[in-house]
Amino acid sequence: MLLKNPKSATRKWFKRGVYTLIVIEGACFAGSYFIWYKINTNRDTRKYLFDNYPSILENYYKIGELIDSQNKIRQVDLAYWNKKT
């Protein structure tokens, strides 16, 4: 006769917690990617951040310049916004 050992409650709780953590981490990654994509592709979003949250936009520009020293998106945006107003 085959005896089954029941799984402990602690193991079930731990397994459920790990799955929940993975789902939350995936959702956070997807959300941060969506925000980055919107900032990266939409000049109006960057203008909104420039007017309302300049520190966030400054960090976005710094990271872009750190990754690629030839990145001139800051100068292009400022020239466009100064020309438009």
Distance CA 29, CA 46 (A): 21
Distance CA 16, CA 30 (A): 21
The model's pLDDT over 24-36, given as tens digits with 9 standing for 90+, comes to 999 999 999 999 9
| 2, pLDDT greater than 90 | no
Domain parsing of the chain, residue ranges? 43-85
The reported pLDDT for the residue numbered 5 is 76
Give the chain's mean pLDDT: 91
Q: Which residue has the higher pLDDT, 64 or 84?
A: 64
Which tokens go with 39?
A: 């900032």
**3-state SS assignment for residue 32:** helix
| 10, pLDDT greater than 80 | yes
